[in-house]
Amino acid sequence: MEKQVICINWGTKYGPRFINRLYAMVARNITPPFTMTCFTDNPEGVRREVRCLPLPPLDVAMPVNTRGIWPKARLWGPVLGDLTGPVLFMDLDVVVTGSLDDFFTFGAPDDIVLSRNVTNPFERLGQTSVFRFPVGKLVPLQEKFKADPQAVADEYRFEQRYVTRNAPGGVKLFPAAWVRHFRRHCTPVFPLNYWKAPKLEAGTRIVIFPGGFHPEHAISGGWKDEGTQGRTPAQHLKTELGKWREARLFNRLKHYVAPAPWVADHWRE
C-alpha cells in the first residue's frame, strides 16, 4: 500500500524551506512507496518530489482572536486532490527522528488517529500536529465549522479539541512514545535548562514544536522571541534580569533552551 503524507502551507510564515526539509526527513524515515502532497497557495521553490496542489476551497471567514490553527479545516472536506483512503498529516515544523511506517498501520484504516496533547494532561485530548484520517471522513466537522466558524472557535478554542470531541466514531491516539513535544519532553525544567541540553528520548519518531518555537530556534538555542536566539545562558540571564521591572519575569527566565545539535542532525534536506 502506498503511504500518503500530506501537509498544508499558506502565507509566508513557513514556505519551501520547511516543506523541503519535511520531505527529506520523511523520505529518510519511511519505507517506499510513498507520496507527499503539499496543499499550498505558492508552490515556488518546492522540490519536485513534492506534489503541490492548490489549497482545498473553504469559503468562510476564519475566526479571529483564537489560538487554534483553523485554516487546517480546509483538509476536512470531501476531496483532497486525487487522494483517497488514509492520509498522514504533519505540521511543517515537526522534526522526524524515526520510522514513520507504524503510523500507517496503527489501528484500522478507517480510524481517525491523533498524536497526544500533553499540555492538558487531565483532558483526553489529541494533537493535530500529527494525525491520520481517511479522506472525506471529517466532512461533518467541516460542515459544522462552515455554519459558524467563530462560534466553533469560541467554544473549542483549538482545532484539535474540536476534532477530538466531534470526529465521527471518535478518535484514537498514537502511542505517547512515538510523538514527543520538544518543550515538554525534551527540554529540562527550569533551572536545569540553563546547563543541560535538550535530550531526544529513545523511541521517539516525531518531535513537535507547538507555540511558535521552531526547530531553528532549538538549533541556535535561546528562545523564539526576536533577539533571543543564540544567547548563552549568562547572556540570557543578564538581559532578562536587567528587565526585572517588566511583566512576566519568571516566564522569560524559564524560557531558555540550550542548543540542541541533534535537531540539526535531523532537520535538514
Q: Which domain holds residue 153?
A: 3-173
Helix (H) or strand (E) holding 216: helix 215-220
Report which residue type is found at 11.
Answer: G
User: What's the confidence (pLDDT) of residue 247?
Assistant: 73
The count of structural domains within the chain is: 2
**Unique residue bearing C-alpha cell 494532561:** 121
Residues 244 and 154 in one domain: no
Residues 49 and 106 in one domain: yes
List, for residues 140-189, the tens digit of each pLDDT value.
999 999 999 999 999 999 999 999 999 999 999 999 999 999 999 999 99
E strands, the chain, are: 3-9, 34-40, 51-53, 86-90, 95-96, 113-116, 126-134, 172-173, 179-181, 206-208
Judge whether 219 and 264 are in contact, CB under 8 Å.
yes
User: What's the confidence (pLDDT) of residue 226?
Assistant: 75
Residues 259 and 160 in one domain: no
Does 252 or 110 have the greater pLDDT score?
Answer: 110
- Calculate the average pLDDT of the chain: 94
List, for residues 197-233, the tens digit of each pLDDT value.
999 999 999 999 998 889 999 999 988 887 788 888 8
Average pLDDT in the 247-257 region?
83
Does 245 or 251 have the greater pLDDT score?
Answer: 251
What is residue 166's three-state secondary structure? helix
User: What's the confidence (pLDDT) of residue 163?
Assistant: 98
Residues 167 and 223 in one domain: no
Q: Is the pLDDT of residue 265 over 90?
A: yes
Confidence bin at 130 (pLDDT 50/70/90): very high
Domain boundary among 173, 189, 205: 173
Q: Is 217 exposed, middle or buried (0-12, 13-18, 19+ CB in 10 A)?
A: buried
Residues 186 and 161 in one domain: no
Q: What is the pTM of this model?
A: 0.94
Residues 94 and 132 in one domain: yes
Answer positive or negative: Cα dihedral of 159, 164, 170, 171. Answer: positive
List, for residues 30-67, the tens digit of each pLDDT value.
999 999 999 999 999 999 999 999 999 999 999 999 88
Alpha carbons 125 and 171: distance in angstroms, whole number? 9
List the one residue out of 137, 4, 141, 132 whose CA is nearest residue 79.
Answer: 137
